[in-house]
Amino acid sequence: GTGKLPVGVREKIRNHPCYSEDAHHHFARMHVPVAPACNIQCNYCNRKYDCSNESRPGVVSRVLKPEQAVRKVAAVSQRIPELAVVGIAGPGDPLANARRTLHTCELLRESFPELRLCLSTNGLALPEYVDQLCSLGVEHVTVTINAIDPAVGARIHPWVFYEHRRYTAEQGAEILLNQQLMGIEQLAAKDVLVKVNSVLIPGINDDHLPAVSSAVRQRGAFLHNVMPLISEPEHGTAFGLSGQPAPSTAELQAVQAKCAGDMPQMRHCRQCRADAVGFLGAEQSANLTAEQLPEEG
Ligand code: CLF
Ligand code: SF4
């Protein structure tokens, strides 16, 4: 749990439904899907669906323009007064769409200064944007890190697109890893609360995630969220087609328990869609779709 954290941090996570398990019954979050593109390839991703780092397969999120996102936040905050956090989590990578993402943050900061801004990224472009994210008041960032060894990373991320060219295999995985770790350190130095998500992929990184946990804790992340691979053929490409199994609940819990020696674990993640709205896991408010919300105004 998060009980051992310093008072200042506890205050900052008090009403964030993902960062505080206690908060998730009382405070709601919403995602605005403003980020369609991605700058890496994950073997568990199908670009037709939402970024699997933070989401599950289903209906494709309709991408919103920044101004539409602000209107949606206005509509949701009227319906759900407990709305505390607005996150940008896809359907691609928020920082591979930096202009749209930063503009959305800017508009939200102006219109809804009381809402917390949250971002989830694969981390490849993170060091480039740390300063801007901080000056826009983004207080929470999630970085998805599935491996701390490029040899393991290369089995999960076959390529990254970095500084105008594509890097494959271990070379790509190493660039991704270095960028992720640098980004975490920079954010932590600026008191941004960094959570790390890891997708548990049996046979690929299950034994390896405790090492990920201790490495990211050393860099200043303070919460680790080990999420199960969603093994549905339409969701994954390489893994899905080769029949890569999803972990059982027992396997997931065993890995979370091993990682818990190093840092607090999130165990209430719902693997939200990039357009999720409402309380985590509360069926009555679960995920109003864009279609249920007014298009304008
Ligand atoms: Fe969204 Fe993610 Fe922010 Fe939460 S979700 S960007 S940290 S506001 Fe939360 Fe959903 Fe799990 Fe993400 S339950 S998938 S951890
Ligand atoms: Fe897909 Fe997200 Fe990975 Fe990009 S970071 S390839 S959108 S799962």
Q: Which atom of ligand 2 is nearest to the CA of 92?
A: 7
Reading the block at residue 244, the tokens are 């890569």
Q: 175 near 167, Cβ under 8 Å?
A: yes
Whether 45 lines ligand 2, by a CB cut-off of 6 Å, is yes
> Model's pTM, two decimal places?
0.91
Nearest to 141 by CA among 197, 92, 98, 96: 197
Q: What angle do CA 222, 205, 272 make, to 5 degrees?
A: 60
Residue whose Cα lies nearest atom 14 of ligand 1: it is: 271
Sort residue 265 into left (φ over 0), alpha (ψ -120 to 50) or beta: beta
Q: Which amino acids bring their CB within 6 angstroms of ligand 1?
A: 18, 29, 31, 54, 85, 87, 89, 118, 120, 140, 142, 225, 269-272, 280
What CA–CA distance (Å, rounded) separates 223 from 28? 19
What CA–CA distance (Å, rounded) separates 85 from 16? 7
Q: What are the percentages of helix, strand and coil residues in the chain, rounded to 5? A: 40, 20, 45
Nearest to 119 by CA among 68, 53, 46: 53
Residue whose Cα lies nearest atom 13 of ligand 1: it is: 269
Q: Which residues of the chain have pLDDT under 50?
A: 1, 57-59, 237-238, 240-241, 283-287, 290-291, 294-297
Residue whose Cα lies nearest atom 11 of ligand 1: it is: 269
Domain boundaries, the chain: 7-287
Question: In the sheet where 193-200 sits, what is the strand order?
Answer: 223-228, 193-200, 138-144, 116-121, 83-88, 28-31, 277-278
Q: 229 near 202, Cβ under 8 Å?
A: yes
Whether 92 lines ligand 2, by a CB cut-off of 6 Å, is yes
What CA–CA distance (Å, rounded) separates 113 from 70? 12
pLDDT score recorded for residue 271: 87
pLDDT score recorded for residue 11: 80
pLDDT in tens, 214-258: 999 999 999 999 999 987 655 554 454 456 788 999 999 999 999
| Total residue count of the chain as it appears in this document | 297
DSSP-derived letter for residue 83 is: E
Cα-to-centroid distance, 47 and ligand 2 (Å): 7
pLDDT score recorded for residue 233: 58
Fold of 7-287: TIM Barrel (3.20.20)
What CA–CA distance (Å, rounded) separates 159 from 163? 13
pLDDT score recorded for residue 296: 42
Report phi then psi at 64, rounded to 5. -105, 150
DSSP-derived letter for residue 291 is: G
The ipTM (two decimal places) reads 0.94
What CA–CA distance (Å, rounded) separates 205 from 212? 9
Name the residue type at position 37: A
Nearest to 57 by CA among 222, 207, 205, 240: 240
Q: Which atom of ligand 1 is nearest to the CA of 118?
A: 3
Reading the block at residue 267, the tokens are 């165990």
Work out whether strand 28-31 and strand 277-278 pair parallel, antiparallel, or are unpaired.
Answer: antiparallel
Whether 256 lines ligand 2, by a CB cut-off of 6 Å, is no
Q: Which atom of ligand 1 is nearest to the CA of 55?
A: 14
pLDDT score recorded for residue 6: 74
